[in-house]
Amino acid sequence: MTDAIRVLIVDDHPVVRDGLRGMLTGDDIEVIGEAGDGDAAVLEALRLEPDVVLMDLRMPGSDGVTATGQLSQRLPSARVLVLTTYDTDADIRRALDAGADGYLLKDAPRDELLRAIRTVAAGRVALAASVAGRVVEHLRGDGDVLSSRELDVLRLVAGGRTNRAIARALDISEATVKTHLVHIFRKLGVADRTAAVTTALERGDITLA
Amino acid sequence: MTDAIRVLIVDDHPVVRDGLRGMLTGDDIEVIGEAGDGDAAVLEALRLEPDVVLMDLRMPGSDGVTATGQLSQRLPSARVLVLTTYDTDADIRRALDAGADGYLLKDAPRDELLRAIRTVAAGRVALAASVAGRVVEHLRGDGDVLSSRELDVLRLVAGGRTNRAIARALDISEATVKTHLVHIFRKLGVADRTAAVTTALERGDITLA
DNA sequence: GGCGCGATCAACCATTCGGTTGACGCAGGC
DNA sequence: GCCTGCGTCAACCGAATGGTTGATCGCGCC
């Protein structure tokens, strides 16, 4: 290894940033900066041109997926390694779609983290074991992706609206809402709206925030 | 200050443990141990007899609330300062009921964390600003606490069961289920089961896990 | 003993929901 | 050009839900 791998840490928790910095510093890795939200992450990355960006997903303000998308467009040289607490299907899918090169969970031990950083720095993809399983599973049964309109409906359902209220909110007829719901039920493998909301929450298709 | 405050760190993420250790070491605080789950936390606390236990809530295995309850019984000398990512009403309520002496969020800056540790070590209560607000709010309107039976029903509702299925599962009549639901709706201030589930999830009364 | 509250149940009703069938226009891919 | 999928809508039906009133029982508390 000729030069140290230059790493930018992105996380909203100072504690985690400190912990990562302590864990990574030394060896063949150099922490060159930190950021506390997605916007700052993009700015810092453009300024510092890191080799690897360690990216948290859930952050106040601009989130990690958005920042990842921006980075893969505006700074393709930077490899993005997502490091998050959550591992829902939708989180993983969105992050990888946005251009992430790796996906690790925060409970990963130190050596796994170091290995993953070296892997993505070398241009390969690093996935946590549990995540890798979901990815192949996702490649198999792909027919259950909710369309954007279906997500609109589902989010309103989660808000407790009746079909009629949803129809008014989306400016469509109640019949259309019901059609969307039937498709949602089939895709999620459930029988009613309440189960649809909870399984969508579990899968990460929608969020309560 | 005669002696350093002896702190035990409890968190399932090695990264966070490292970060906290780095943040706290020095000054008048000494990190004397770490634990990765609730059971280990109790064992380590009994062995090391720390002044303050920094306790995460959501952990694999035995969770932080249970551990807090055990500690307040078996090692009353140890003050428990909860340090978590989440701040739902029910989390806060349960932690304080279990005997926690403080409640901080993980995005707290370093000096706030240090201040809180010194505060609880001195025998006082330390609450994050956002948490304190919820606590007084909770003391005001206390009439909306769901009974345990209502929670049983609500958990099954969240699982997508029909009233009839819930009745069978709990071995009561469908009429009783409906009665419980009406009470739940009133207490949560919602109009239907779906909204009940989402607001209960937001409040932390129930969980998806 | 009386009171309140939680838990249980019944009967009734209007509304809503879930499911089906069938239909149309439109965009994108083969 | 054809087919698929998405989004839109209508009409219909049975089942589930939400709301009401009223009732009984047991427990803890004053």
Judging contacts by C-beta atoms under 8 Å, the chain B residues touching residue A197 are 194, 197-198
Residue B30 near residue B5, CB atoms below 8 Å:
yes
Strand C footprint nucleotides (protein C-beta < 7 Å):
6-11, 16-23
The maximal CA–CA distance of chain B, rounded, in angstroms, is 64
Q: How confident is the model at residue B95 (pLDDT cuts 50, 70, 90)?
A: confident
Residue A208 near residue B199, CB atoms below 8 Å:
no
> In angstroms, how far is C3 C1' from B132 CA?
35
Low-confidence ranges of chain A (pLDDT < 70): 1-2, 134-144, 209
Judging contacts by C-beta atoms under 8 Å, the chain A residues touching residue B159 are 195, 198
Is B179 within 7 A of strand D by CB distance? yes
Cβ contacts from A onto B, under 8 A: 101
CA distance A105 to chain B (A): 9
Test B12 with A107 for CB contact under 8 angstroms: yes
DSSP A28: T
Test A12 with B107 for CB contact under 8 angstroms: yes
Please state, rounded to an integer, the average pLDDT across all residues of chain B: 86
Secondary structure (DSSP) of B132-148 = HHHHHHHHHS-TTPPPH
pLDDT score at B111 = 87
Residue B109 at interface with chain A, using a CB cutoff of 8 Å:
yes
pLDDT score at A25 = 80
pLDDT score at A91 = 78
Test B202 with A208 for CB contact under 8 angstroms: yes
Test A107 with B194 for CB contact under 8 angstroms: no
Is B192 within 7 A of strand D by CB distance? yes
> In angstroms, how far is D20 C1' from B197 CA?
23
Secondary structure (DSSP) of A91-160 = HHHHHHHHT-SEEEETT--HHHHHHHHHHHHTT--EE-HHHHHHHHHHHHS-TTPPPHHHHHHHHHHHTT
pLDDT score at B136 = 60
- Long-range contacts for A129-133 (Cβ within 8 Å, ≥24 apart)? A130/A87, A130/A105, A131/A87, A131/A92, A131/A103, A131/A104, A131/A105
pLDDT score at B137 = 57
In chain A, which residue's Cα lies nearest the Cα of B162? A192
Residue A111 at interface with chain B, using a CB cutoff of 8 Å:
no
**Residue partners of B57: CB distance under 8 A and separation at least 6:** B63, B64, B65, B82, B84, B86, B91, B95
Strands B126-127 and A52-55, bridge-based pairing:
unpaired
Strands A79-84 and A102-105, bridge-based pairing:
parallel
Residue B74 at interface with chain A, using a CB cutoff of 8 Å:
no
Count Cβ atoms within 10 A of the Cβ of residue B33 and give its class: 0-12 exposed, 13-18 middle, 19 or more buried: middle
Mean pLDDT computed over B107-132: 87
pLDDT at B139 over 70: no
pLDDT score at B133 = 72
The more confidently predicted of residues B135 and A41 is A41
Strands B5-10 and B52-55, bridge-based pairing:
parallel
Residue A85 at interface with chain B, using a CB cutoff of 8 Å:
yes
Rounded distance between C-alpha atoms, residue B190 and residue B193, angstroms: 8
Query: Can you read off the two tokens belonging to residue A47?
Result: 């300024």
Q: Measured CA to C1', what is the nucleotide nearest B175?
A: C9
Answering whether pTM is above 0.85, one says: no
Test A107 with B13 for CB contact under 8 angstroms: yes
Secondary structure (DSSP) of B138-189 = HHHS-TTPPPHHHHHHHHHHHTT--HHHHHHHHTS-HHHHHHHHHHHHHHHT
Is B65 within 7 A of strand D by CB distance? no
pLDDT at B116 over 70: yes
Judging contacts by C-beta atoms under 8 Å, the chain B residues touching residue A194 are 157-158, 160, 193-194, 197
The more confidently predicted of residues A30 and B1 is A30
> In angstroms, how far is C6 C1' from A167 CA?
39
Residue B54 near residue B103, CB atoms below 8 Å:
no
DSSP A4: P
Rounded distance between C-alpha atoms, residue A88 and residue B200, angstroms: 21
pLDDT score at A125 = 86
**Residue partners of A60: CB distance under 8 A and separation at least 6:** A12, A37, B107
Q: What is the pLDDT of residues B39-79, one digit of tens each?
A: 999 999 999 999 999 999 888 777 888 899 889 888 989 99
Q: How confident is the model at residue B9 (pLDDT cuts 50, 70, 90)?
A: very high
pLDDT score at B11 = 92
Q: How many other CB atoms are there within 10 angstroms of residue A87's CB atom?
A: 15
Q: What is the pLDDT of residues A138-185, one digit of tens each?
A: 554 444 678 888 899 999 999 889 999 999 999 999 999 999 999 999
